[in-house]
Amino acid sequence: MRLVIEGLIKNFDKKEVLRGINFSFEEGKIYGLLGRNGAGKTTFFNCVNKDIPINGGTISYEENGKKELLQPDDIGYVLSVPTVPEFLTGREFLKFYIEINKKRIPDLKPIDEYFDYVGILPEDRDKLLKDYSHGMKNKLQMLVNIISNPKLLLLDEPLTSLDVVVAEEMKDLLRDVKPGKITIFSTHIMDLALDLCDEIVLLNHGELEVVDKSNLNNNEFKERIIAALKEEENVQDA
């Protein structure tokens, strides 16, 4: 299975953010989408997720030689800032999510088994979500996007503001679920991309290009990437 991007264009008024992107993402890998803040990573995700209209191109997945357009159920999207109904308890929210999505959830498990999976402790499962820490909310957001086993998992900088322990737990979780799906992980932190991702893709000047991971360990190469991103920032600010 592949996610196939062909000629993707996105403009905001006269500002060209995505400039005819042609790229494919393979199943079973975690891709690090690397770029400075404001490079268009979230815009790219919102186009793939159909949250915003595109100005040109197609986004599809290819399986067994056949291309099909992505459907909402094919995509899981984890935001950098968790959005959960804070008036519900963790258990109520998870039960509600499973109830409305149970037809598309493979191998349905008991609720407490899901909590165990992401390390949410028994004493926290019946607390209101408004009393959850940022990390716990993020775990729950990640969990509901994994339960339904989407073909494509989009992760918009979900680890940036987490403490070290929770971030490591989340990385282990992502490594565990990557088989059978395409995972694209957006970040502006090169070391995080190196640690977690199988492939690194740079979003620069509105286009995607593959970066050899071995080069990212080279300080000179890192400096060239940083210089390129600063150049783009200067062009956009001009």
Report which of 164, 82, 94 is spatially closest to residue 127, judged by C-alpha positions: 94
Q: What is the mean pLDDT of residues 202-223?
A: 75
Range of the domain at 222: 2-79+151-237
Predicted TM-score (pTM) of this structure: 0.85
CB 222 within 8 A of CB 233: no
The residue written with tokens 């950098």 in the block is 80
Q: What is the pLDDT of residue 196?
A: 86
CA distances from 178 to 75, 126, 157, 171, 197 (A): 14, 29, 17, 11, 10
* Residue at 62 is within a domain: yes
* Residue at 11 is within a domain: yes
CB 135 within 8 A of CB 162: yes
Q: What value does the mean pLDDT of the chain take?
A: 85
What pLDDT band is residue 223 in, cutting at 50, 70 and 90?
low
pLDDT for 34-64, tens place per residue? 887 777 888 999 999 989 999 999 999 898 8
Q: What is the pLDDT of residue 192?
A: 78
CA distance 233 to 223: 15
Other Cβ atoms within 10 Å of 199 Cβ, number = 17
Is the alpha carbon torsion for 135, 141, 144, 147 positive or negative?
negative
What pLDDT band is residue 161 in, cutting at 50, 70 and 90?
low
CB 4 within 8 A of CB 60: yes
Q: What is the pLDDT of residue 110?
A: 92
CA angle at 191 for the pair 137 and 208, rounded to the nearest 5°: 90
CATH label of the domain that carries residue 182: 3.40.50.300
CB 187 within 8 A of CB 211: no
Beta bridge partners of 152: 75, 182
* Residue at 57 is within a domain: yes
Does residue 237 have a pLDDT over 60? no
Q: Angle at which helices 90-101 and 111-118 pack, to 10 degrees?
A: 120
* Residue at 231 is within a domain: yes
CA distance 48 to 53: 9
pLDDT for 97-128, tens place per residue? 999 888 888 788 999 999 998 889 999 999 99
* Residue at 55 is within a domain: yes
Burial of 15 from C-beta contacts in 10 A (0-12 / 13-18 / 19+): exposed
Amino acid 27 reads: E
User: In this structure, what token pair is assigned to residue 29?
Assistant: 């890998």
Does residue 178 have a pLDDT over 60? yes
Number of domains present in the structure of the chain = 1
Burial of 83 from C-beta contacts in 10 A (0-12 / 13-18 / 19+): exposed
Q: What is the pLDDT of residue 117?
A: 87
